[in-house]
Amino acid sequence: MDNQKPLDGKVALVTGASRGIGLAIAHLLGKMGAKLSICSKNPQKLEAAKNELGREAQDIFAAPVDVTRAEQISSFVVDTEKNIGPVEILVNNAGIGYFGPTHEASEQTWDSILDTNLKSVFLMSKAVAPGLIQRRRGHIINIASLAGKNTFRNGGIYCASKWGLLGLTGCMAEDLRQYGIRVSAICPGSVATDFSPHEGKVTSKLLQSEDIAHAVEMLVTQGPQSFISEILMRPTEKP
């Protein structure tokens, strides 16, 4: 294995990979030698991301997927393994936000946020876990948030999804560690993407998507005897 390509030949699946944090993670994993399986709901943005990633990764499989639908996820995982091989790294990155008074939100908004930010992680992990267990190795990395540890005005539904995600991550870690599988969460503060509003903040002082990718790099290259279960990330300066 090339020391400059520590993931040479390994398959990494990244959800929500057509832009922002997911695209940055896919870029870095590709540079590390991984074969990439990427998905998002927008076919046009996904195709653009695939073309962009092709400058670094030799093997890329991409398909539009609604990560809240079990049948689409199952087909995507099967097609990934047929095209580029068994998944060894899963990065559950897909997520959406809602920032407003909880009591004014619709039931549809609740379902959309919880299904995308929490249910999708359950469904994708469930689809990938049997293969990881069989091979007795692998990583599941969930992109959570400091909103999973803190409350703030207008954050009720988003916080609920991320608090739930951290609970799910911790329990899955206990379920799967006996098979040599690490399940970890990365909890960033505000990141300079178009995901959420940043009024009054200096964008250059926010966390950047590449910072989150670097945390993923650390998790997938840690020594065999260690298990980093959670990473909390904040910018050096308050924006």
Which of the residues 61, 76, 158, 163 is marked catalytic? Answer: 158
The helix or strand, by DSSP H or E, that contains position 150, with its residue range, turns out to be none
CA–CA separation, 25 and 93 (whole Å): 9
To which residue do tokens 């520590």 refer?
A: 6
Decide: helix, strand or coil at residue 140: strand
158 is catalytic: yes
The alpha carbon of 219 is separated from its chain's Cα centroid by a whole number of angstroms, namely: 13
Residues 6+ apart with CB under 8 A from 175: none
| Residue 196, Cβ density class (10 Å: 0-12 exposed, 13-18 middle, ≥19 buried) | middle
Q: Look up residue 102 and give its DSSP letter.
A: G
Catalytic residues: 158
